[in-house]
Chains A and B, each alone.
Chain A
Amino acid sequence: MATATTFGTVLRELRQNRVAAVGLGITTFVLLAIAIGPSLSPYDPSMMDFTAILQPPSWAHPFGTNSFGMDVLTRVLYGARNSLLISIVGVVLGGGLGTLIGMTSAYVGRWFDAIAMRFVDLVFSFPIFVLALMLMLVLGFGVQNVIVAIAIVYIPNFARLARNTTMIVKSEPYVQAAQVMGQSRIRIMVREILPNIAAPLFVQFTVGLAFAIIIEAGLSFLGLGVQPPTPSLGVMMADGKDYFHRGPWVLTLTGLALMVTILGLNLLGDGLRDLLDPRLRRRSAA
C-alpha cells in the first residue's frame, strides 16, 4: 500500500487518460522545442540587427523580428527555456519549504501549527501580483529575485496541501506501526509520509508551474522582473508591448507561445489529478 503510487504506474495510466495524454504531448513538444530548437535556429538570440527591426512574420522569420532586429522565434525558444527554469526553481523552492512547513505543522502541531497556518493565511490574503510587486521593490529586479518572489508566493499553497494530506496519512496503520517500532519522527516523515503525499504535491507542482510562468511574465512585463538582455517570455512581451503599434506580432505571438506552454502544463496537471484523486480518496476512506 505504501508504495502504491509510484510514478511508473502513473505514467502507464497517463497514456490511457485523454486529457493527460494531450497535456503530456504538448509539454513534451515544448520541452523538445526549447531543448533542440535553439541549436536548429540559424539566428543568434542576442544578435542585434538594426537594419531589420520590427519586420512582420515571413519565411525567414516566422514570428517576425523585434525592436532590436532579433528573430522573435529564436528568442521565444531561449526565452521559454529561461522562463521555465525560473519557474521550476521558484516552485521547487517554494514547494520544498512549503512542504517542510506543512508536514512539520501537521506532525508537530500545537504552537508551530498555529503560527505556520496564520502565516499561510496572511500570505493568502494578499493579491498575488501586489505581493510579488512589493517583494520586487525590496529585493531589486533580476532573475534570482523573481525566483524568490515565486517561491514566497507558493510556500503557503504547498504548506496547506502538505499539512492536510499529512493529517490524513498520519493516522494510517503503517505510520502508527512505525511509531510503535520507535522510529524517529524525521525518519517517519521522510520514509513513510512523504512518499504517500507526493502525488498531490506533484499535481500542485505541475499546475503551480503553469501559474509561475504567468507570474514571471507579469513581473517582467511590468519591467520589474527579469531584465534584458536575458531573454524571458515576459521580457519579450514587455518589449513587444512598447512597440505594439509598429509590430503587434512580437507581443501576440510570444504570448501565444507562452499560452501553449501553460496549456500543456495545465492539461497534464488535470490529467494527473484525475488519475491520482480517486486513489487518495480510497486511501483516506480505508
Chain B
Amino acid sequence: MGFLWYLTIRIGGALATVAVGSFLIFLIMKLAPGDPALAVLGESATPETIAAYHKEFGLDEPILVQFGIWAKMVLQGDLGKSIALAGKFPIKDLLATRLPITLFIGMYGLVIAVVISLIAGTAAALRHGKLTDTVATSIAVLGISMPDFWFSYVLILAFALSLDWFPSYGFTAPGESWIGAFHSGFLPALAIAAPMAGVFARILRASLLETARREYVTAARSYGFAAPFVFVHYVFRNAVIPFVTVLGLQVRYLLGGVVIIERVFGISGMGSLMVDAAFARDYPVVQACALTFLVGVLFVNLLVDIVCALLDPRRTR
C-alpha cells in the first residue's frame, strides 16, 4: 500500500508537470516573434499565400483554442504533423528516427562517463591523499570546467582532422551499422562524457570516503573481513546511492549538452531537431520535442528513485 501510494503520487505529479510544462512551452513559442509561413514559403511568399498557410494549419485561431486542439490530439496518441521543418511529415516518424540517435549518443556518453568515473573515483578514494588522488581529482575538476562544445572542437582538431582516427562530421546511425555508430559516435560521446565523468567521479570519491568512516564499516573490519570484501559489500554498495541520484540529476545537463554537440558534429538527433524547429517556428515539432524531453527527464528521475530504494540496504535486508 505504502509503496504503491507513493508511486501513484509520483506519477500523478509527473503527469501534472508534463501538462503544465507543455503549456508553458506552447506559450513561449507563441510569444516569440516570427512566423512559420515565412520559413516555408520563402522569398516569394505573398500575403495571400501566407494567409492560406495560416488557415491550413489553424494558426489563425486564438492561442488557447490552438493549445486545446493540440492537447486533445496528443491525448488521442497523435503528435500531429510538421508544419514548417519537413513538409507534412508525421512527427512520430521524425521522432522515430531522431530519438534513437540521441539515446544512442547519450547512453554512449553516459557509459563512458560512468566507466571513467568509477575508475577515477574509486582509485582516488582508495589512495586517499596520495598522488593518485590528487591527479584523479584534478582531472575530474578539469572535466567539469570545460565547456563541452569547446572540447568538441579540440577533439575534432586533434583526432579527426590531424590524426584522422575518427570522422570529422556526421554520424552513422546504429540502424545502418553498429560499428559505424560506435566509431563515428565516439568523439561526440566523449565530449558529452567529459563534464559528467568529472561530476560522477567527485561524488563517488566523496561518498566512498564518507561511507568508509561509518560505524558499520568499522564494525565489519573489526570482524576481520578482508579489505576488498568490506569495500565491495559495505562501502561501495552504500556509496553508490548518491552516485545514482546524481546520475539522474545529470540527465538534464546531458540532454542540454546534446543540443550543442549535435550541432557541432552534424548529428541529426533530438537536439538539432528541436533547435531547427524552434528557428523555423514549427510549433508542433517543438511541442513534441519538449514533451519528449520532459517525459524523459521525469522518467529517469522516477527510475532513479526506484533504483535507490532497491539499493538501500534497509530495504533489501
- When A and B assemble into the complex, do they touch directly, with CB atoms less than 8 Å apart? yes
Residues of A within 8 A of B (CB): 19, 118, 121-122, 124-131, 133-135, 137-138, 210, 214, 217-218, 221-222, 237, 241, 244, 248, 251-252, 255, 258-260, 262-263, 266-267, 270
Docked complex Cα distance between A56 and B29 (Å): 43
| Interface status of B142 (Cβ within 8 A of chain A) | yes
Stretch at the interface among B44-52, B107-115, B171-179, B254-262: B254-262
Q: Are A127 and B29 in contact (CB under 8 A)?
A: no
Q: A126-B294, A137-B278 are in contact. List 14 more A-B contacts (CB 8 A).
A: A122-B24, A125-B252, A125-B298, A128-B253, A130-B256, A222-B260, A244-B157, A251-B150, A252-B150, A255-B153, A262-B145, A266-B141, A266-B144, A270-B202
B123 CB to closest chain A CB (Å) equals 17
Q: Which of B145, B259, B293 contacts A263 (CB 8 A)?
A: B145
CB neighbours of B298 from chain A (8 A): 125
Q: Are B154 and A125 in contact (CB under 8 A)?
A: no
Docked complex Cα distance between A248 and B149 (Å): 14
A262 CB to closest chain B CB (Å) equals 4
| Interface status of B146 (Cβ within 8 A of chain A) | yes
Q: Are B145 and A129 in contact (CB under 8 A)?
A: no
A158 CB to closest chain B CB (Å) equals 15
| Interface status of B13 (Cβ within 8 A of chain A) | yes
| Interface status of B16 (Cβ within 8 A of chain A) | yes
Q: How many A-B residue pairs have CB under 8 A?
A: 119
CB neighbours of A267 from chain B (8 A): 141
CB neighbours of A255 from chain B (8 A): 146-147, 150, 153-154
A226 CB to closest chain B CB (Å) equals 15
Docked complex Cα distance between A118 and B20 (Å): 10
- Max chain A Cβ within 10 angstroms of own Cβ: one of B25, B142, B259, B275: B259
CB neighbours of B256 from chain A (8 A): 127-131
B25: nearest chain-A partner, CB-CB: A134
Q: Are B141 and A217 in contact (CB under 8 A)?
A: no
| Interface status of B97 (Cβ within 8 A of chain A) | no
| Interface status of B163 (Cβ within 8 A of chain A) | no
| Interface status of B217 (Cβ within 8 A of chain A) | no
| Interface status of B246 (Cβ within 8 A of chain A) | no
Q: Are B142 and A127 in contact (CB under 8 A)?
A: no
| Interface status of B274 (Cβ within 8 A of chain A) | yes
CB neighbours of B255 from chain A (8 A): 127, 130
Q: Which of B17, B25, B144, B290 contacts A121 (CB 8 A)?
A: B17
CB neighbours of A270 from chain B (8 A): 141, 202
Identify 26 residue pairs between A and B in the complex whose beta-carbon atoms are under 8 Å apart, listed by A's number.
Answer: A118-B20, A125-B21, A125-B298, A126-B252, A127-B256, A127-B259, A129-B256, A129-B260, A130-B255, A130-B259, A133-B275, A133-B278, A134-B25, A134-B28, A137-B28, A138-B32, A214-B147, A217-B147, A221-B147, A222-B263, A241-B153, A252-B150, A255-B147, A258-B147, A263-B141, A270-B141
A272 CB to closest chain B CB (Å) equals 14
| Interface status of B31 (Cβ within 8 A of chain A) | yes
B100 CB to closest chain A CB (Å) equals 18
Q: Are B149 and A221 in contact (CB under 8 A)?
A: yes
B34: nearest chain-A partner, CB-CB: A137
CB neighbours of A122 from chain B (8 A): 17, 20-21, 24
Assuming the A-B contacts A130-B290, A130-B293, are A251 and B278 also in contact, with contact meaning beta carbons closer than 8 angstroms in the complex? no
Docked complex Cα distance between A127 and B290 (Å): 9
Docked complex Cα distance between A221 and B153 (Å): 12
Docked complex Cα distance between A241 and B154 (Å): 11
| Interface status of B91 (Cβ within 8 A of chain A) | no
Q: Which of B145, B147, B278 contacts A266 (CB 8 A)?
A: B145
CB neighbours of B40 from chain A (8 A): none
5 smallest CB-CB distances across A and B, nearest first, come from A127-B255, A255-B150, A129-B256, A127-B256, A128-B256
* Residues 129-154 of chain B, each 1 if its beta carbon lies under 8 Å from chain A, else 0: 00000000100011011110110011
Q: Are A134 and B142 in contact (CB under 8 A)?
A: no
A263: nearest chain-B partner, CB-CB: B145
B144: nearest chain-A partner, CB-CB: A266
CB neighbours of A127 from chain B (8 A): 252-256, 258-259, 293, 297
Docked complex Cα distance between A118 and B278 (Å): 26
